[in-house]
Amino acid sequence: MLKWYEQVKMEPGKYYVSNRIRLARNWSEYHFPRRLRNDEASEMVQRMRDALQELPLQQHENVRDCLLTEVPEIRRMAMRERRVLSSSILERKAPVGLFLSESENLSLVLNGDDHIRLQLMGPNLGMEELYRNIDRLDDYMNRQFEYAFDAHYGYLTSFPTNVGTGMRANIVLHLPMLAQSKQFPKLLESLGQFGVNIRGVYGDGKENHGSLFDLSNARTLGVSEQEIMNLVKKTAMQLNSEEEKLRTYSIESNRLERTDEVFRAYGFLKYARRVSIREALRNLSAVMAGITDGLARTEQELSIYALYLGVQPSNLIAAEKEPVDREKIDILRANYLRRMLPELIER
């Protein structure tokens, strides 16, 4: 079965890479995670694992559950790079449970920052379907565990910034042209006034590599789930429109330069023998933009975004059968790219 990120297909004029909906919930029978003793946490996690063995997941076959302590450290770090786990969850010393679907579009973390962190991810843009599925799962789980809920404030969570709906809606966009414009920093700053956050997926500001930007709601209190989705989608569409204008102009005025940039980036990725993470992301961004804009195509169908994840250090190491010297990670990355990149053909 393909992973969800292997199904990302960029189309002309549509620069949406992925979307995600995440819910934070707590079981009213127990203290919040940071106040639980280890024996209480173990009991709670086991009770939850037992109760959730029959999740209504017709579209998510082969969901496995485990304790994070049963997963090797390098694989936990690789899951963080693939956005299955957060850094704060990796740092937890208390028992943590994980349900993960085979395609990794569904993840359910037990006793992380909150008792329940339910997450659905998907390629490109399909937020309504994600919400329908996660809402159904949420209702099922609430029948198993009575949630900590206040009639005035809504769902109670460990962090005040999640109180209310407990929901985060995210859209990741590929915005290489906007990122190069002088007005982009001011644009990012202004978005905060409208109730959204935007950050570089791989660094911020001038240190952003790969030109991927994560857009999410800033508020969870006093707004409905539908209002959150509408706001994030509307903002994403506005950014997408601005990016499209710049790309259209660049192709009309500098098609040869744009095409040359794409094939230079491809040549580096395909033939270099040592590739840093910054070089990989910067050049993958150029290749992805060229394919999306119809300047080139790959001989075999391929998700360039999957390569963004594949070149991350822990994912490279986790894929190896033998121990890896971290000093040779740039060589390993170059080998991976030469192996995975198909022939690029000019259109």
Q: Where are the domains of the chain?
A: 255-346
The predicted model scores a pTM of 0.95
pLDDT at 238 over 80: yes
The string of pLDDT tens digits covering residues 178-198 is 999 888 888 888 887 889 999
The pLDDT score that the predictor gives to residue 265 is 98
Per-residue DSSP letters for 250-299?
HHHHHHHHHHHHHHHHHHHHHH-S---HHHHHHHHHHHHHHHHTTSEEES
Q: Is the model's pLDDT at 60 over the cut of 60? A: no
154 dihedral zone (left: phi>0; alpha: psi -120 to 50; beta) = left
Q: Which of 114, 153, 119 lies closest to 27 in space, CA to CA?
A: 114
- 3-state SS assignment for residue 193: helix
Rounded to 5 degrees, what are φ and ψ at 301? -65, 140
Tens of pLDDT, residue by residue over 260-317, are 999 999 999 999 999 999 999 999 999 999 999 999 999 999 999 999 999 999 999 9
Distant-in-sequence, close-in-space partners of 172: CB < 8 Å, separation ≥ 6: 16, 17, 18, 19, 20, 201, 212, 213, 214, 215
Calpha distance 9→305 (Å, rounded): 9
Contact 9/288 with Cβ under 8 angstroms? no
Helix/strand/coil for 84: coil
pLDDT at residue 324, as a whole number: 83
Residue 39 pLDDT > 80 = yes
CA–CA separation, 266 vs 284, rounded Å? Answer: 8
Answer yes or no: is pLDDT of 88 > 70.
yes
Place 1 in a pLDDT band, splitting at 50, 70 and 90.
confident
Q: How confident is the model at residue 162 (pLDDT cuts 50, 70, 90)?
A: very high
Instruction: Please give the Cα distance from 258 to 235 (Å, whole number).
Output: 27
Per-residue model confidence as pLDDT tens digits over 19-36: 999 999 999 999 999 999
Q: Give the pLDDT score at 157.
A: 97
Round to whole Å and give the CA distance between 215 and 19.
9
pLDDT (0 to 100) of residue 54 = 81
- Grouping H, G, I as helix, E, B as strand and the rest as coil, residue 37 is coil
- Closest by CA to 18, choosing from 173, 139, 128, 146, is 173
Q: Determine the Cα angle at 304 with ends 321 and 63, to 5°.
A: 60
Per residue in 114-146, pLDDT (tens digit) is 999 999 999 999 999 999 999 999 999 999 999
Tell me how crowded residue 190 is: count the other CB atoms within 10 A of its CB: 10
